[in-house]
Amino acid sequence: MKKLTEKMTSWIENEVKNAKANGVIYGLSGGIDSAVVAVLCKKIFPENSLALILPCHSIGEDIKDAQELIKKFNINYEVVELSEIYDSFSSLLSGKLKKNVHDDGLARANIKPRLRMISLYYFANNLNYLVVGTSNKSEIMVGYSTKYGDSGADFFPLGNLLKSQVIELAKYLGVTKRIINKPPSAGLWKGQTDEEEMGITYAQLDEYLTGGELNDKKIKKSIEMKIELSKHKRNTPNIFQLNNSIN
């Protein structure tokens, strides 16, 4: 873990330096992935790193966990309350739907991470900071993210770490135990958990991604389908290639 931390901090520092940026900014949700990113960023940029707590009808316990981490590591932060904006914006959009079109709950929930992305880039632009993404490899491979929401960032330090590896790194870095031990959740609605929404556990997903043989063929098929259907989230948008021979 020591060697991994050294490599990751060096990589993050180089990303910022190469972009000629002044520092880094990230969303701090109270979950384990953003907590690990927060501690790593604090190590490299003790003064030029900023955590944004972005409540949007969020669970109070998550905000409390984020603030506890901030206190422990003396992290610079700001709180931007997005609930009122979310209510107004989602109401405006749903009001424009035709009567025969169903107002999808997930589509509305996905407005939350997209509002957070906008907030992060507002601060990043003004401070000349880079936005640090907090997604890990397990989530990225099955597309467990909101396109142009939490997937919208300048770089992803945890992008090649499985969830199990993030947990081990969190323990090494001294992330608070409450954050490490609680069920992973994107906080999109009350009681929502990552594993329940995905229909698979992180243990099963990590086992598959490391080449293990899953006994449950149904779970294996589900993972493979998620990987296939989420390809568009891992690729940049296609660009039409103009053939020079066209007159």
The predicted-structure confidence for 208-222, as pLDDT tens digits, reads as follows 999 878 888 999 999
pLDDT of residue 51: 98
In a domain, 36, yes or no: yes
Q: How far apart are CA 58 and CA 41, in angstroms?
A: 24
Q: Assess if residue 239 is contained within a domain.
A: no
CATH code of the domain containing 107: 3.40.50.620
- Residue 146 per-residue DSSP state: -
The pLDDT mean for the chain works out to: 93
* 71 within a domain of the structure (yes/no): yes
Query: Which whole number is the average pLDDT over 129-135?
Result: 98
Q: In this structure, what token pair is assigned to residue 105?
A: 């709950």
In-domain check, residue 80: yes
Distances (CA, A) of 27 to 19, 116, 120, 132, 198: 20, 8, 7, 8, 22
For the stretch 18-68, pLDDT in tens is 999 999 999 999 999 999 999 999 999 999 999 999 999 988 899 999 999
**Residue 205 forms part of a structural domain:** yes
For Cα atoms 233, 234, 237, give the angle at the middle one, nearest 5 degrees: 70
Contact 1, 96 (CB under 8 A): no
Asked if residue 240 belongs to a domain, the reply is no
Question: Containing domain of residue 208, as a range?
Answer: 2-234
Residue 123 counted as domain residue: yes
Q: Tokens representing 30?
A: 């109270």
Torsion angle, CA of 211/212/215/220, rounded to 10 degrees? -30
Q: Give SS3 for 131.
A: strand
Distance CA 78, CA 75 (A): 10
Helix (H, G, I), strand (E, B) or coil at 242: coil
Please report, rounded to a whole number, the percentage of residues in the chain having pLDDT higher than 70.
Answer: 96
Here the tokens at position 162 are: 């499985």
Residue 220 lies in a domain: yes
CB 186 within 8 A of CB 208: no
Could you tell me the pTM of the whole model? Answer: 0.91
> 50: left (phi > 0), else alpha (psi -120 to 50), else beta?
beta
- In which band, very low, low, confident or very high, does the pLDDT at 246 lie, cut at 50, 70 and 90? low
User: What is the arithmetic mean of pLDDT over 63-92?
Assistant: 97
How many domains does the chain contain in total? 1
Q: What is the pLDDT of residue 104?
A: 82
